[in-house]
Amino acid sequence: MKKQAFNPYLPSWEYIPDGEPYVFGDRVYVYGSHDFYNGYVFCMGDYVCWSAPVDDLGNWRYEGVIYPKTSDPLNRDGKMCLYAPDVTVGPDGRYYLYYVLDHVSIVSVAVCDTPAGKYEFYGYVHYADGTRLGEKTGDQPQFDPGVLTEGNKTYLYTGFCGRGDKSRTGAMATVLGPDMLTIEEAPVFVAPGCEYSEGTGFEGHEFFEAPSIRKVGDTYYFVYSSIVMHELCYAVSKEPTKGFTYGGVIVSNCDLHIDTYKPADMPMAYGANNHGSIVQIGEDWYIFYHRHTNNTWYSRQGCAEKIEILPDGRIPQVEITSCGLNGGPLEGKGEYPAYLACNLFCDTPSVYVGDSRFPKVMQDGRDGDEEVGYIANITDSATAGFKYFDCHGVKRISIQVRGYADGVFEVKTSWDGEVLARLKVQYANVWEEYSAPIEIPDGKQAIYITYRGNGNASLKSFALIDCNY
């Protein structure tokens, strides 16, 4: 039986941001960096891989460690982190993994005969004279490689452009030869950073980091994280190394700009940096991105949403949801863990994560412990939103709560809607279940749960109960 697919799509104790999705054979594989739960910096772990059948996107399989960080000759002591990678199939049919270590400005490459086997170090991207890319006079530092192979050429996209740094121009494209290492065409700039964007059409959404490249028909889609960090944008061109024009925002991990269910300038989650790309799975297209947990930048989880590529090539921005890969709403009955909240906010609005007053997704235990996540630090006005459910005959709702709190949880079907149920909770240091009658209209519905009262609570799960459940 196929499983429902959720956001995040991997288990709640897994932290794989910067996801690059690819379909190889009858499975979709996601390659990303590897954060730790409660990590203190980005990308502390080895590269691991997860995959799922293309026709069962809720059934993810752990493929194991595909590349330890000590495999690179520059990092035998493991003191450097593996930043966001990308994978491409070379002209020889093998799989090539491109990455950058956190303290160097060159691009490393590993290779494997299968999509998720044991990758072995292969070499460094270099010029014909052997000088490594990033170390030649005039080179800008390399960062966040994204790759696309066509025939005997591989297009390598890199770059990082922070605000106020005029030494960084924009995103670069470099053409590699059939050995996947040697540069055939030196870097050229394909998208501007914020210091060089005037008159380009990229203003306000300039390139920051996370370059990724896909080809759809005869059009190249350059996906990247903009200078505001929380959004993934795209640019398009008919050629891989020039002519890119700004297209728009695909997704924001705080849902900024979306006005379908709230004001466009109202953040509905605590965002920060973003990284991901688009992929076609079956007949549908998706954007993979990541969210932030634990009220830090350093414990990120992969999410995905279905997108539409219009006949004219545009990609409208999509809402963040709890059901991205599911192909539609979740079943409007049964128990759902609270970590599936796609909206999380309080009366103090913030685009960015990190304030100690904010509710947060976290887990018990330490990194690697298979402990189901939950929402903690719930104080007065904290709201968790879950979208969407196919509801029919829902007559009751229950929640599991713990913590030293004395108040009421309100349940609504929109963030500013009518309160449909109130559940009184009291002080408890163990998970306690509370239940109340509710009338949720039939059809596609969101569930918003807001705390009003004193103290600090945690929410483990909620259950929608129909007359037959």
pLDDT in tens, the chain (469 residues): 589 999 999 999 999 999 999 999 999 999 999 999 999 999 999 999 999 999 999 999 999 999 999 999 999 999 999 999 999 999 999 999 999 999 999 999 999 999 999 999 999 999 999 999 999 999 999 999 999 999 999 999 999 999 999 999 999 999 999 999 999 999 999 999 999 999 999 999 999 999 999 999 999 999 999 999 999 999 999 999 999 999 999 999 999 999 999 999 999 999 999 999 999 999 999 999 999 999 999 999 999 999 999 999 999 999 999 999 999 999 999 999 999 999 999 999 999 999 999 999 999 999 999 999 999 999 999 999 999 999 999 999 999 999 999 999 999 999 999 999 999 999 999 999 999 999 999 999 999 999 999 999 999 999 999 865 4
18 is catalytic: yes
DSSP character at residue 70: G
Q: Which of 323, 316, 254, 315 is nearest to 290 (CA)?
A: 254
Residue 94's closest CA among 175, 17, 33, 181? 181
**Tokens of residue 152, six digits:** 């005997």
Residue 448: per-residue pLDDT: 98
Of 14, 18, 35, 206, the active-site residue reads 18
What is the pLDDT at residue 326? 97
Measured distance CA(28)–CA(279) in Å, rounded: 9
Contact 286, 324 (CB under 8 A): yes
DSSP, collapsed to helix, strand or coil, labels residue 75 as: helix
pLDDT value at position 468? 58
**Number of residues that this document lists for the chain:** 469
Handedness of CA 178, 180, 182, 187 (dihedral sign): positive
Q: How far is 167 from 57, CA to CA, in rounded Å?
A: 43
Quick count: other Cβ atoms within 10 Å of Cβ 198? 9
Closest CA to 163 of 204, 105, 127: 204
Rounded Cα–Cα distance for residues 73 and 95 (Å)? 20
Determine how β-strand 330-331 pairs with β-strand 383-391. Answer: parallel
Domains of the chain: 20-307 (2.115.10.20), 330-466 (2.60.120.260)
User: Terminal CA-to-CA distance of the chain, rounded, Å?
Assistant: 20
Full-model pTM: 0.97
* Residue in 35, 144, 209, 305 annotated catalytic: 209
Establish whether 319 is a catalytic residue. Answer: no
